[in-house]
Structure 1
């Protein structure tokens, strides 16, 4: 295992700079997820760690060694891609052991490592099969097994579950986390799915347009997002935002631009006199007789939860309720945000106000 230090990394393609001085420390044995929308630079950063992209400026260290000029084969890393990239003419066992054979590893050791990885991944019954005889999830496990047999210092995952259906993604998500907990190898995992990141990673690094927005544990990012972007990206469904200002005439309230009054908790002096965004997550609304009257637009029952899209003044928002509610299209309900879970953001800078 090994730690990873990313110091002031910049990446340019000609005059176009796509990574802007990113710095990130990854501890030995840590599972960290790189998340963000398409084009944010997460896969580019992963490929620079792997040595598949050149670093324009800055340093990347694995262990105690700067690896900028090392080829991928000398970095002691193993990478699992979005595509399975299996050899169709080789069996599962041969696919998993191919990299070891290229290293001239003794045949008996190759067989032992392949067998051990197959046991971890429940692939023993499939070792003599070919990729065409496997399901998508089994193929992805073979790709993971190919990485495991190398016993690397670092695992790199580049959106490995994107090609799987929803149910299989959930299953594989659990299998990758279980694998990590068993091996405790330093892992960098790229995904655009923030639910994957929240459920799997020790820490999450959120990127946008080649900048690192925030790094923290899943709960830290969920409870204390640094800015509007992180608040809106982390959490599913995403956070609701309402624009307005504070009104404090002895009883502090938030007044939206269209005149709706909403409760607030303790007010920071830095929030006074500014245009603000009032942020509340869908699960932090409650139905209350003292709430604000809202018009229901969409009701989405899922069994365990009921999602309701509603109009609060001129703002279209979403609430998610654990209890069953009797709400229909164009009916009215009274909704109140949980004040303890409300966030205020500076509308101009997007930064969270403490």
Structure 2
């Protein structure tokens, strides 16, 4: 195992810059997920760590060693790709053992490494099968097994679940997390799916337009997003954003709705702000603000209600089964300690002075 240190890393293709000074410290044994929308640079950064892309500037260390100019095969990493990259004419066992055979490892060593890896991944009964006889989830486990037998210092996963159906993705992310807990190998995982990031990672690196927006534990990003982008990207459904102006009484929207002042955020009166509250934090409460219902979507365990506060769109997620009709008014409120304020000009979260050190 090894730590990975990314220091002011940049990437350009001719005059086009795609990574703008990325710096991230990944501790030994951590499970870190790079997440962000398509085109944000997360896969490019992963390929640079693997040595599959040249670095235009900055430094990457694996353990104590700078690897900027080290060939991929000498970096002590193992990569699992989105498309599995299995050899179709080789059996499961042969695919898993391929890297060891290239190193001319003895047969007993190959057997000693392949057998336990197959047991961990539930592949023991499939070792003689060809990839075309396997399901998508089984193929992905073979690709993981091929990485495990190499016993690398770092695992790299490049959107490994994106080709699987929804049910299998849920199963596989549980298996990958359990595998990390068992092996303890430093893991860097790329996905555009924030649910994968929230459920699997020790730490999440949120990227956007070639920059790091925030790094932190999943619930830290969820509860204390640094800016509007992180607040809107993390969480499903997304955080509600209401535009208004700070006043001494609270936040006044353009159509006259007075939103209560968050208890952990503050803005100078007259400042244009964005008020943020997560859908699941809305509560039905007599005397609350009037949410005019537009659409109700029951899912069984919860009910999603889409509507308007004044002229602004809002979604609420309630544990109650709500049978409201379009046009009906529901009184809603929320815990003011869970509300956020963001500066409209900078997008940064605003924090009450007493909370600056803790935020």
Residue number in structure 2 paired with 1:345: 342
Q: Which runs of 5+ in 1 are unaligned?
A: none
Alpha-carbon shift at residue 68 of structure 1 (Å): 0.4
Residue number in structure 2 paired with 1:321: 318
Residue number in structure 1 paired with 2:354: none
Residues 91, 131 of structure 2: 8 Å contact kept:
yes
Residue number in structure 1 paired with 2:61: 61
Distance, in Å, in 2 between the alignment partners of 1:271 and 1:74 is 55
Alignment of 1:296 with 2:293, yes or no, is yes
Alpha-carbon shift at residue 273 of structure 1 (Å): 2.2
Alpha-carbon shift at residue 271 of structure 1 (Å): 3.7
Alignment of 1:208 with 2:208, yes or no, is yes
Alpha-carbon shift at residue 11 of structure 1 (Å): 0.3
Q: How does 1:170-319 map to 2 (within 5 A)?
A: 170-248=170-248, 252-266=249-263, 270-319=267-316
Residues 271, 353 of structure 1: 8 Å contact kept:
no
SS in 1 for 2:204: strand
Alpha-carbon shift at residue 338 of structure 1 (Å): 2.3
Distance, in Å, in 1 between the alignment partners of 2:214 and 2:266 is 24
Q: For residues 15-41 of structure 1, give each alpha carbon's deviation from its aligned partner in whole angstroms, at most 9, with x where no partner exists.
A: 001000111100000010000111100
Residues 271, 346 of structure 1: 8 Å contact kept:
no
Alpha-carbon shift at residue 88 of structure 1 (Å): 0.9
> May I ask how many residue pairs the two structures share in their alignment?
351
Q: How does 1:32-47 map to 2 (within 5 A)?
A: 32-47=32-47
Distance, in Å, in 2 between the alignment partners of 1:268 and 1:135 is 50
Residue number in structure 2 paired with 1:80: 80
Alignment of 1:121 with 2:121, yes or no, is yes
Distance, in Å, in 2 between the alignment partners of 1:169 and 1:86 is 19
TM-score by length of 2: 0.96
Q: Which runs of 5+ in 2 are unaligned?
A: 352-359
SS in 2 for 1:289: strand
Distance, in Å, in 1 between the alignment partners of 2:268 and 2:107 is 68
Residue number in structure 1 paired with 2:24: 24
Residues 91, 128 of structure 2: 8 Å contact kept:
yes
Cα separation, partners in 2 of 1:135 and 1:268, compared to 1, 3 Å:
closer
Distance, in Å, in 1 between the alignment partners of 2:321 and 2:250 is 30
